[in-house]
Amino acid sequence: MRRIGMTVNGSPRTADVEPRELLVYVLREHLGLTGTNVGCDTSSCGACTVLLNGESVKSCTVLGVQADGQEITTIEGLARNGELHPVQQAFHEHHGLQCGYCTPGFVLAAVSLLNENPSPSEAEIREGLEGNLCRCTGYHNIVKAVQAAASS
């Protein structure tokens, strides 16, 4: 067991974690932030995507101890004062989600993508979200949502 300290969604949090524990389990099971989902065991699906110091990472590829001292944003921390983040709002308005299981990962991946490239082309959006899988939407409306968020 090791005690780690992180800033999660703007608040300081600590957790006592096993060295082998993945960040996604630290968030879900120690901190109760179950909005971050687990879709695979091979770092393939991106459902677990969070922002680590502002950049998207698959939280199943990061050990909890590696997050010690870092800043993390999960889907729960994106809305501000009851207002959805523009990317969340765009997913809602453009029907960029169906079952919603992939959505937290996609939203955070898109936030990170737009931070790096505020006006991506359709091809850049598609390439940029390659690490996230959605089985419901065929990606059509996810791409539309990201385009809309970019222009808002």
Return residues touching other proteins (CB under 8 A).
Answer: 28, 33-42, 44-45, 47, 74-76, 78-79, 84, 88, 91-93, 95, 97-104, 107, 122, 125-127, 129-144
Both structure tokens of 19: 């060295």
x/- site string to ligand FES, residues 35 to 74, per CB under 6 A? ---xxx--xxxxxx---------x-x--------------
Handedness of CA 28, 133, 131, 104 (dihedral sign): negative
Which residue, among 103, 102, 71, has the nearest Cα to 84 in the 3D structure? 103
Residue 127 CB contacts under 8 Å (≥ 6 apart), including other chains: none
Residue 58 CB contacts under 8 Å (≥ 6 apart), including other chains: 43, 46, 48, 49, 105, 131
Judged by beta carbon distances under 5 to 8 A according to partner kind, the member of other proteins, ligand FES, none in contact with residue 60 is ligand FES
Judged by beta carbon distances under 5 to 8 A according to partner kind, the member of ligand FES, other proteins, none in contact with residue 73 is none
Neighbours of 39 (CB within 10 A): 18
Judged by beta carbon distances under 5 to 8 A according to partner kind, the member of ligand FES, other proteins, none in contact with residue 54 is none
Q: Which stretch binds ligand FES (CB under 6 A): 5-13, 66-74, 112-120, 128-136?
A: 128-136
Judged by beta carbon distances under 5 to 8 A according to partner kind, the member of other proteins, ligand FES, none in contact with residue 104 is other proteins
